[in-house]
């Protein structure tokens, strides 16, 4: 056996973890090997000293199990300063991200529209005759009126150099109609 296994068995024997058969076999092995007996003796002494130190510490405290110490009289304390710093960091980061994201959006120029007056074609006269005829019904006249072209006003000129606030108001307006 190597020194590590002998030390582990010595610790288990000092703590009373070995079975009777294993303890007898271990003692027999130690009787036959004097160097192993020296290693086991040092580990048993270290384990005993550790146990006495733990007992001295816990006896004065009146604690049955030293691993369980509960203090119910002290409330949980929350450290607000570090929490506030992290919250401020998150808010500032989100603000910077939103601002940079809005500025980095590509500017798509809106096409300029212009109204062009269409010249009446030769077929317009025939439509006017049909529409002026009173013998036709209302719906037929309505359908024919929809087929005639009429000039409609177009959007005004687009200012591509609008400032950030105007672009924001326009985008909010467009989103509200969606």
Q: Which of helix, strand or coil describes residue 52? A: helix
Which range in 14-23, 72-81, 115-124, 144-153 is most confidently predicted, on average pLDDT?
14-23
pLDDT digit string, tens, across residues 78-114: 888 989 999 999 999 999 999 888 887 777 777 676 6
Predicted local distance difference test score (pLDDT) of residue 65: 59
Predicted local distance difference test score (pLDDT) of residue 58: 76
Predicted local distance difference test score (pLDDT) of residue 8: 83
Instruction: Tell me the average pLDDT of the chain.
Output: 77
pLDDT digit string, tens, across residues 41-87: 888 888 888 888 888 877 766 555 555 556 666 677 788 898 999 99
How many percent of the chain have pLDDT more than 90?
8
Predicted local distance difference test score (pLDDT) of residue 101: 85
Predicted local distance difference test score (pLDDT) of residue 130: 62
How many percent of the chain have pLDDT more than 70?
66
Which range in 9-13, 102-106, 123-127, 130-134 is most confidently predicted, on average pLDDT?
9-13
Q: What are phi and psi of 66, to 5 degrees?
A: -70, -20
Helices (H), the chain: 3-15, 20-32, 34-61, 80-104, 123-132, 138-146, 164-176
CB contact at 8 A, 144 and 124: no
């Amino acid at each position: 056996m190597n020194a590590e296994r002998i030390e582990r068995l010595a610790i288990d024997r000092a703590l009373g973890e070995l079975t009777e058969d294993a303890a007898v076999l271990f003692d027999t092995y130690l009787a036959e090997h004097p160097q192993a007996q020296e290693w086991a003796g040092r580990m048993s002494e270290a384990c005993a000293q550790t146990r006495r130190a733990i007992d001295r510490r816990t006896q004065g405290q009146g604690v049955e199990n030293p691993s369980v110490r509960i203090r119910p009289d002290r409330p949980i304390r929350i450290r607000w300063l570090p929490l506030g710093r992290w919250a401020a960091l998150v808010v500032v980061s989100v603000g910077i991200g939103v601002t940079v994201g809005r500025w980095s959006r590509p500017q798509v120029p809106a096409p300029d529209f212009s109204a062009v007056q269409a010249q009446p074609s030769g077929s317009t006269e025939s439509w006017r005759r049909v529409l002026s005829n009173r013998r036709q019904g209302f719906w037929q006249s309505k359908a024919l009126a929809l087929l005639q072209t009429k000039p409609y006003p177009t959007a005004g000129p687009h200012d591509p150099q609008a400032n950030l606030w105007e672009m924001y108001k326009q985008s909010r307006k467009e989103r509200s109609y969606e």
